[in-house]
Structure 1
């Protein structure tokens, strides 16, 4: 089963997850989501695999969030639109294998790789 990593090269935790994948020797697909932004459909699919709501994968400390969305009460579709328009808001790295996905920001997430 192929593994996919949604990666931001500027993120240390994302680079660490990528290194773990590379060292595993297993095939994987690298998606640099800032260079190739996700569609709303792709985000919905990721959310389903993650078992999360859109707001749960939003980086609330990003300037874009604070300037445009802090204090707003959007619907799930509104948050998905925000993620499409500002992919920097997507928590990373996201690892997908089959119909499961997880955010690999900590040791437990890396161990699943």
Structure 2
């Protein structure tokens, strides 16, 4: 019985600790994560230009918007709407996720 308990103590920490935690990014981290990068979502992709423009493609339909960092959040605006929507940006390995005010989460992978 002691042998089983000892083996469990060695194995269980590696099972639970194998996944890297999501890290909330600050202004510098958001720029490092998004400047001139392309992200792949479940059914779309988006390119973030250092100029502040962003191109979103879904099913062959392209949409241009603008983005910025404000108060350590990623913010975007999609004309003709003049309102800015802001999200926390978190990173884990080769993924980022956008976390909205209401807890909505969108996960994306970097394009290769």
TM-score strictly above 0.5:
no
> Which structure exhibits the higher relative contact order, with contacts defined as CA atoms closer than 8 Å and separated by 6 or more residues?
1
**Structure 2 length as normaliser, TM-score?**
0.29
Structure of higher CA gyration radius: 2
Higher helix share: 1
Structure with the largest fraction of strand: 2
